[in-house]
Amino acid sequence: MKVRRKALLEATQWNKLGDHPEVIQYIQDDQEETCIECGKPSADHGQLIFFEFKVCPGSWIIEAEEKQAMVFSQDAFDRMFEVVE
């Protein structure tokens, strides 16, 4: 059986600091000047406040009802969500 989630979720595309209150400056590892996932400079990244999850520029921040933010790449966002309003 396949199911589709009914809840409306708040989605914000993150590109820079200030775009979402739960994303802070990425705490950079000196070894990692560019991101292995997106190829952009590590300095252009953020991370979630509550757990250290890196946020690439262009990623989507999704807030569920319980207000825990999650991060999705553009590709994952397109596969998992549809825009309804």
Residues that bind Zn ion (CB under 5 A): 35, 37-38, 56
**Residue 38 or 81 with smaller CB distance to Zn ion:** 38
Residue 75 phi/psi, 5-degree rounding, is -65, -45
Q: Closest approach of Cβ 34 to Zn ion, in Å? A: 8
Cα–Cα distance between 38 and 51 in angstroms, integer?
A: 20
**Residue 33 or 37 with smaller CB distance to Zn ion:** 37
Q: Map residue 12 onto helix, strand or coil.
A: strand
CA dist 49 to 10, 21, 52, Å?
A: 17, 9, 7
**Residue 5 or 18 with smaller CB distance to Zn ion:** 18
Q: Closest approach of Cβ 1 to Zn ion, in Å? A: 35
